[in-house]
Amino acid sequence: MRVDRVALRGLRARGHHGVLPQEREEGQTFVVDLVLSLDTRPAAADDDLTKTVHYGVVAEEVEAVVRGEPVDLIETLAQRIADRCLEHEAVQEVEVVVHKPDAPITVPFDDVTITISRSRV
């Protein structure tokens, strides 16, 4: 079955994730991209928000996860975000990219990311 996708890109929130004490104390900005896979036909047929995923609510929930309980790894953060997205009944699969643009790396770099895909199945 073919699914549709709703994407949210560049969600920003400050979190205190990382293994270094300074990351936990000072915090840093994390950027999250999401692709939510779902069947939008029921919502489109009835023009009914309750038959799809409310991306505004998802954005607020992702921000809360990033601002929430600190974890050492961005892998763990990405998993928590994916788990939260899959709690929405309409979402069948999610791709999560967590960007850590201010990672404490001693050489020049543009970004550090983790990308995961999770599904109900």
**pLDDT tens per residue, range 69-107:** 999 999 999 999 999 999 999 999 999 999 999 999 999
Q: Is the pLDDT assigned to residue 1 strictly greater than 80?
A: no
**Nearest C-alpha neighbor of 112 from the set 13, 70, 104:** 104
For residue 92, which phi and psi values (nearest 5 degrees)?
A: -95, -30
CB 28 within 8 A of CB 102: yes
Task: Copy the structure tokens of residue 20.
Answer: 């270094």
- What are the Cα distances from residue 62, in Å, to 11, 27, 82, 107? 8, 17, 9, 30
Mean pLDDT, rounded, for 7-29: 97
Among residues 27, 66, 100, 105, the one annotated as catalytic is 100
Q: What is the pLDDT of residue 78?
A: 98
pTM for this entry: 0.95
Kindly list the domain boundaries of the chain, sorted by start residue. 4-119
- 51 as an active site residue: the answer is no
Going across the sheet that includes 93-99, the strands are 4-15, 28-38, 93-99, 113-119
CATH T-level assignment (fold) for domain 4-119 = GTP Cyclohydrolase I, domain 2 (3.30.1130)
